Structure 1
Amino acid sequence: MSEKSTEKKSISYKDAGVDIEAGDQLIHNIKPFAKKTSRKESIGSLGGFGSLFEIPEKYNKPVLVSGTDGVGTKLKLAYELNQHDTIGQDLVAMCVNDILVQGAEPLFFLDYYACGKLDIDTATIIIKGIADGCLLANCSLVGGETAEMPGMYPSGEYDLAGFCVGAVEKEKIIDGSSVQAGDIILGIASSGAHSNGYSLIRKVITTNHIDLQSNFDGSTLANVLMTPTKIYVKSILKLIESIEIRAMAHITGGGITENIPRILPKGLSAVIDKKSWKLPLLFEWLKDEAGLNDIELYKTFNCGIGMAIMVAKDDVEKATEILKASGEEVFVIGEVKKISNNDVPVQYI
């Protein structure tokens, strides 16, 4: 009987499902996009082990403000529709809008892109969308991580996470502490559902057998649902230069009901007039298709308000003018009042 061979077949990293050359090609593809987002404070370029960024000289006592987020199950629609060009803006928006509410100017952004097998073309499209979002936020895309992990994700699927850092003068931090009864709440229009409530949206589509390519409000339902999250950075920073903003709330998961109380001092509540803006057709449709009552609707979706701003009554007219000049649609949606017996943090009238 002959002896069995002890020689083992060579197995490469590529055989295991990780293509280092593909990763290198992706970096090559995205360098031009990242370069367009570069601010003068950026040091170096993509490809290093860490990213370097100087704090802008205009700050005397800078406080760094950081935020991280993802896109959630809106990604599932991107996979299904093979539509990946705007999901990167969603990622940037969810991070920069969050730090903006404290008065912070976004400075730089990093992304994390993970997949089972790297599709260079898809990844390039996604990261270009991230760069586009950074341009809208005037922050530098300074780096990130692309992780190819065979067996972790089904074919054609991926995950995204974003990380941003901004700065604000210590004495100009917006924390809601100056909010008073009688202050007015302005609502800035959203661009759609943004990146929240998509688990419910997808459940409605599946349960009610809805065609994503059906006509909807002059477009298709798919396009309406994939409209990227609005980035409010430039318009809000311009407003901060002119008036005192007492508090801001980014209306994300939890809707108006859950987000406005996050920035209200103890003893104060918000009275929201639902008739002060027209509920966009998308939310009317979702309310009907899901059989939602108003309570569920307003604590699940932004319902057409992407950012809420609290200002003194005397500043309402000027604030509205500045925001409209920046291209924003603005509504006076409510007022701050003292909490009485049995009041809840947000009351709708």
Structure 2
Amino acid sequence: MSKNAYAQSGVDVEAGYELVERIKKHAERTKRLGVMGGLGGFGGLFDLSKTGIKEPVLVSGTDGVGTKLMLAIQYDKHDTIGQDCVAMCVNDIIAAGAALIGGETAEMPGMYGQKDYDLAGFAVGIAEKSQLIDGSRVAEGYHLLGLASSGIHSNGYSLVRRIFADYTGDEVLPELEGKKLKEVLLEPTRIYVKAVLPLVKSGLVAGIAHITGGGFIENLPRMFSKELAAEIEEASLPVLPIFKVLETYGKINHEEMFEIFNMGIGMVLAVKPEHVEQVKACLDEPVYDIGRVVTRTVASVVMKP
């Protein structure tokens, strides 16, 4: 067998080395105090004693982009799907800024088709134990403040793909304000870390819900105790045309939409009434006062017109 047998089997070692070298340049830009060593080791090392945090707690999250990736491949549009992967991970942890200190590049010929690939992400954050946002401080009467989503984000795409199975993606639907369908469907997931992290550090936020798979119904109750519920004023939500399109074209029950999609709100903050204006002032964007935390009677999320 020739010297380049591995390459002939589909694994280009030199290309792998080149990719790592390219990643190193970007990793250096995010290097922070505490990072030990660089890329190339078997594991990434971080010295927690350098953070100045008295009781450090590590928060980790792993996620992917689901079947949204299949649309990216179908439409041959790959320039934003990486942001989706990052967003799904870091939005779940919303912790202190983390530097990229390690990873893996694997080549697996025969595992995927010629145009197929997969994405998976893993993020680690660090927080002061006393500042952890675990929902235990959320109480009745707290305001629920919503931050707008950029679109569908990265959940519900198995249904989205079924609805638009007979479309090429180049269609300009009148409801989508002149945009091509594929542009709207592949709009990247918003990353909320820079907006929310200062509020976390200030102690102004008692609870946070990342509205992902399961929509409002599944994710809002994750940020408070079982004795409480979220009462949401639907009229206060921002209106994104894509959700009306999905509901109409897919013939989806309106109530079910809130069990699947983010409906225009990608992150919800639980805030004391006296802190609402201060939080709004800290955020350089529209903030939607979408509801209140109430005592639970039956459902953990109550939608009001």
Using structure 2 for the length normalisation, give the TM-score. 0.93
Query: Aligned letter for 1:61?
Result: E
**Distance in 2 between the 1:30 and 1:63 partners?**
28
Using structure 1 for the length normalisation, give the TM-score. 0.82
Match of 2:91? 97
Q: How big is the shift at 1:334?
A: 0.6
**Distance in 1 between the 2:258 and 2:20 partners?**
42
Is residue 96–residue 106 contact of structure 1 (8 Å, CA) maintained in 2? no
Gaps of 5+ in 1: 1-7, 108-139
> 1:20-31, aligned counterparts within 5 Å?
20-31=13-24
Q: Does 1:228 align with 2:185?
A: no
Is residue 184–residue 334 contact of structure 1 (8 Å, CA) maintained in 2? yes
Q: Does 1:84 align with 2:78?
A: yes
Gaps of 5+ in 2: none
Q: How big is the shift at 1:169?
A: 0.7
Secondary structure at the residue paired with 1:33? helix
**Distance in 2 between the 1:105 and 1:9 partners?**
50
Q: How big is the shift at 1:65?
A: 0.7
**Distance in 1 between the 2:17 and 2:163 partners?**
40
Query: Aligned letter for 2:59?
Result: V
Match of 1:347? 302
Q: Does 1:66 align with 2:60?
A: yes
The 1:77–1:171 alpha-carbon spacing in structure 2 relative to 1, beyond 3 Å, is same
Q: Does 1:305 align with 2:260?
A: no
Q: How big is the shift at 1:277?
A: 1.9
Match of 2:131? 172
Superposition misfits of 4+ residues, deviation over 4 angstroms = 8-11
Q: How big is the shift at 1:222?
A: 1.2
Q: How many pairs does the alignment contain? A: 300
Query: Aligned letter for 2:162?
Result: K
**Distance in 1 between the 2:252 and 2:72 partners?**
25
Q: How big is the shift at 1:287?
A: 0.7
> 1:257-268, aligned counterparts within 5 Å?
257-268=217-228
Match of 2:122? 163
Match of 1:210? 167
Identity %: 48
- CA RMSD after TM alignment: 1.7
Is residue 106–residue 164 contact of structure 1 (8 Å, CA) maintained in 2? no
Question: Would you tell me which structure has more strand in proportion to its own residues?
Answer: 1
Q: Which is greater in Rg?
A: 1
Secondary structure at the residue paired with 1:144? coil
CA deviation vs aligned residue, 1:254-284 (integer Å, no higher than 9, x gap): 0011100112212111111100023210101
Match of 2:35? 42
Match of 2:197? 237
Match of 1:199? 158
**Distance in 1 between the 2:201 and 2:100 partners?**
25
